[in-house]
Structure 1
């Protein structure tokens, strides 16, 4: 029998039109939820209802812009009357060697990955408090929150910050019945990783370090996120769930031969 853990709930999923975000959206709808998908991809947002169904509303949003994030939360409340869960999925990487990295380059990584999670957490939590408490925030971090990678100073540092933000938010908000947890995926088969895994030698370097012997499917990361957002995880707060096929046990591959 299909699960229905999210019947009559309202969620926001940022970065929700592709990859992990889209998988989370599909699962929420399948389990009875209503969703506001926030994304910077205007073309995909325009066809959101066609893609995910009538219980999903798409909204263009720049998650590094405070007014844009506030508007997304307001959209959820205006359309559906409440907010129950917020999934901070939007992110990305602009790689570069530390000694060559400009401050603008650094700030791009911090803004896209850490500032967006901060703003989503801030405005979702404020709404939860207005509703009298309760609510769930899930921050999608990365295995790079724990493991550095060559040319990943900005990205890895930002994702480590997402994990500490998660713990800080759980500390401050737990007394109000608000749970905040993180998920740190390993290598996932998404459009963002395709440029790497389409190169056989790079894919082999990764797979050599992943005991599971394969990439994760976005649906597998979504399943972990929905577990943490559900009542099944009612006493889990401030945690970082690593979903990596045991990759962290072996270390990060040295991709310098491929990076130039």
Structure 2
């Protein structure tokens, strides 16, 4: 009997990376999980692997009808919805003066609008069924800008504020809404950068722990935020970055 036995969760972007790590942790703790993703083959594989405990639904989080259907199918399959983890995200990078409107819209729609639609419909169900807890995955880039990342950083800053606003509005319905802000995590989305030695070293110079996080190191904090141990945590932003956020000033130790 795990601590989430009898509970049901939705995880968007749950077929890989941080989302999949959250799915695995939830299953280990006894929860039933609805995984939303665009990777149809991976979803089918996970349904088969965890038969009876997982449903996979091909979901475009930027389409409201997809999110409505996801929540309805989750409730039909498992009888309710207690937790939601809104992880789905990606970026089409570019310098501000060069970025196309289409690439800006892709990034902001996926990273911010997708979270808005997810919170909206997850909370609609929870509001009428005794409450629940929601965790939105933002990013350290909600606080720290990066070259080629104006759209992504702006969207993730929006996710952090959306989280706070949702906590304000939904607390009266016994719904807690918090965010985690990951730093560098070893996922397929970051591999294209960290596989280049010079770029990876530039990251390591800024991260006091001198390594990227594993996705499982994001799952633990995310599950904490929906647990009873966090019952009075609401509207919070938990930075999970190996102390990267405290290194905005150049590291002068190499010159001493």
Instruction: Tell me the TM-score normalized by structure 2.
Output: 0.95
1:174-253 residue pairs with structure 2 within 5 A? 174-251=171-248
Q: Give CA deviations for 1:169-212 in whole Å, capped at 9, x if unaligned.
A: 00000011100000000000111111111111111000110001
TM-score (normalizing by structure 1):
0.94
Q: CA deviation at 1:130?
A: 1.9
Contact (CA 8 Å) 1:9, 1:84: kept in 2 or not? yes
| Superposition deviation, residue 103 in structure 1 | 1.7
TM-superposition CA deviations, 1:3-47 (whole Å, max 9, x none): 822110000000001110000000001001000000011111121
* Pairing partner for 1:48 from 46, 49, 74: 46
Asked if the contact 2:61/2:118 (under 8 Å) is kept, the reply is yes
CA distance in 1, matches of 2:249, 2:39: 31
Match of 2:143 in 1: 146
Matches within 5 A, 1:46-195: 46-131=44-129, 133-195=130-192
Aligned residues between the structures: 250
Distance (Å, rounded) in 2 between the aligned partners of 1:190 and 1:109:
18
Distance, in Å, in 2 between the alignment partners of 1:222 and 1:53 is: 22
Aligned CA RMSD, in angstroms, stands at 1.3
Q: CA deviation at 1:252?
A: 9.3
| Stretches of structure 1 lacking an aligned partner (at least 5 in a row) | 254-260
Checking the alignment, whether the CA contact within 8 Å between 1:26 and 1:52 is kept in structure 2 is no
C-alpha distance in 2 between matches for 1:114 and 1:42: 23
Match of 2:13 in 1: 15
Answer whether contact 2:127 2:174 (CA < 8 A) is retained: no
Question: Do the aligned partners of 1:149 and 1:252 also contact (CA within 8 Å) in 2?
Answer: no
- Cα offsets for 1:81-110 (capped at 9, x unmatched): 100011100001110000111222111111
CA distance in 2, matches of 1:129, 1:195: 41
Instruction: Provide the rounded CA distance (Å) in 2 between the counterparts of 1:15 and 1:251.
Output: 30
Is the Cα–Cα contact under 8 Å of residues 148 and 252 in structure 1 kept in the other structure?
no
2:15 and 2:249 map into 1 onto residues whose CA distance is: 29
Q: Which runs of 5+ in 2 are unaligned?
A: 251-256
Shift of residue 51, structure 1, vs aligned partner? 3.9
SS in 1 for 2:97: helix
